[in-house]
A and B are shown apart, each in its own frame.
Chain A
Amino acid sequence: MAHDWQPDFEQLVDEHQSMVFSLALRMTGDRGLAEEIAQDVFLEFDRRLGKMESADHARFWLRRVAMSRSVDALRRRQTRGTDRWVEMEDHHGIHAEERTSPLGARLEQLLATLPEPQRAALVLRYQEELTPEEIAAALEAPLATVKSHLQRGLKLLRAKAAIHLKEFVREKECVRGV
């Protein structure tokens, strides 16, 4: 059945390039690699443009493939002898001086130290403001797993931030459900 939505590639690039690039950058921490991933994602998107049924479908597809390609790139990098958890002294991606907020820069650095599944969940939660169900769909992972990654990742990030930033003190003992 033909769909009414006529995708405009250029308009979709304008609308979503920031999302795709940011996802790749926050996952890999490498600006050059994030650009390559974004290029690949959009080139693939162009090949499949005729199969996109709606604006939502396009956005979902781009997000899912951007995450998938970023995770693949991270794992390839690990296999070749580099480690995604290590804080790099020369951070190739996110430069602190580009952010006006030193807090934001520090949180970016702390995010990069999280294990990949937790980082993926947190990026989709706080950058894209997705629900856990939407995150599970984007990552093609079980909902329970996503909730666990969100909870553990947030707890870890909060603990790291408390040590380093001394301004995030949780008043409540219990872990907030997500």
Chain B
Amino acid sequence: MKNRFITFIFAAVALAMPALAQTAQLPVSSPIEKELAARASEATEITLDKKMLSLASRVMDGKDTYDDATRQLIENLDGIYIRNYEFDKEGLFTAEQVEQLRKNYETGEWSSLVRNRDRKTGESSDIMVKLVNGESHGLFILNVEPKEISMVLVLGPVQMSDLKKVKSIVKGTVKGRGGAEKSIPTKGKSRP
């Protein structure tokens, strides 16, 4: 079932063609994000513009397979914007706040690929792709759980195989510097 879902996403993103050479702007932290961060027991906020992605690519010098794969994944991107908030208990954020996060991507440029709402639990999922003249310029993912909000924005050309690569990089084994093997910790194991 997971494969079917991923396949569905690939099919949708298969509209992506090599993007025009436009550099999109990453968003600025909104007041809503600050509110959520203040209430979260753990907040992860990552903003990587093209310059930072380029810096990261340069040190991924291909000494291991996964560095190579990661570099290929990011080298053409314009930016990555991640906001992840974990809460001690349910009820620490509202549907209105989630709607504020989502509304910037409910414009004509963004097409919804996945839209799921569970009114009983408050869980929701959105996956949107930014299409300009039929070409993919970005991907937006918003996942809302009772005690967690994950927001992922990737700007730039997102190719069909990219999402599968994410899983293989994260779930696979990465050789650290010096050859020692280590795994990138999964969320359940590493996050306190």
**Any A–B CB pair closer than 8 Å:** yes
* A110 touches B (CB below 8 Å): yes
Within 8 Å of chain B (Cβ to Cβ): is A160?
yes
Query: For chain A residues 111-156, which have a beta carbon within 8 Å of chain B?
Result: 113, 115, 156
CA distance A113 to B42 in the complex (A): 8
With contacts A80-B52, A110-B192, A164-B192 taken as known, whether A85 is within 8 angstroms of B45 at the C-beta atoms is yes
The answer to whether A86 touches B192 (Cβ under 8 A) is no
Determine whether B43 belongs to the interface, using a CB cutoff of 8 Å to chain A: yes
A-side contacts of B46, CB under 8 Å: 81-83, 86
Q: Which of B64-72, B101-109, B120-128, B183-191 has 4 or more CB atoms under 8 Å from chain A?
A: B183-191
- Whole-angstrom distance between the Cβ of A89 and the nearest chain B Cβ: 6
Q: Collect the chain A residues with CB atoms within 8 Å of residue B190's CB.
A: 87
Q: Per-position contact with B for A73-89: 1 when CB-CB < 8 Å, else 0? A: 00000101111011101
Contacting pair B43 A85 (CB below 8 A): yes
Q: How far is the CA of A113 from the CA of B49 in the complex (A)?
A: 23
Find chain A residues with CB under 8 A from B48 CB.
81
Could you say which interface size class chain A belongs to?
20 to 34
Is B18 in contact with chain A by the CB < 8 A criterion? no
Q: Are B182 and A89 in contact (CB under 8 A)?
A: yes
Answer yes or no: B57 CB below 8 A from chain A CBs: no
Cβ–Cβ < 8 Å partners of B62 in chain A: none
Whether the pair B192, A81 counts as a contact (CB closer than 8 A) is no
Least distance between B115 CB and chain A CB atoms (Å): 29
* Chain A residue with Cβ nearest B183: A89
B192 engages A163 (CB within 8 Å)? yes
Flag if A160 contacts B192 (CB, 8 Å).
yes
A8 at the interface (CB under 8 A from B): no
* Interface assignment of A90: CB less than 8 Å from any CB of chain B: yes
Partner of B176, one of A82, A90, A159: A90
- What's the Cα separation between A78 and B49 when bound, in Å? 12
Q: With an 8 A cutoff between CB atoms, is B44 at the interface?
A: yes
A80: shortest Cβ distance to chain B, in Å?
A: 7
- A163, B49: Cα distance in complex, Å: 35
Partner of B184 from A89, A109, A113 at Cβ < 8 Å: A89
Contacts of B161 in A (CB 8 A): none
Does residue B47 face the partner (Cβ distance < 8 Å to A)? yes
Asked if B45 and A83 sit within 8 Å, CB to CB, the answer is yes
Across chains A and B, which 4 residue pairs bring their CB atoms closest together, nearest first? A160-B192, A81-B52, A81-B48, A81-B47
Q: A87-B185, A87-B190 are in contact. List 6 more A-B contacts (CB 8 A).
A: A82-B46, A89-B182, A115-B43, A159-B41, A160-B192, A164-B192
Chain A residues with a Cβ under 8 A of chain B? 78, 80-83, 85-87, 89-90, 109-110, 113, 115, 156, 159-161, 163-164
Point out residues on B near A: beta carbons under 8 Å: 41-49, 52, 88, 176-177, 182, 184-185, 190-192
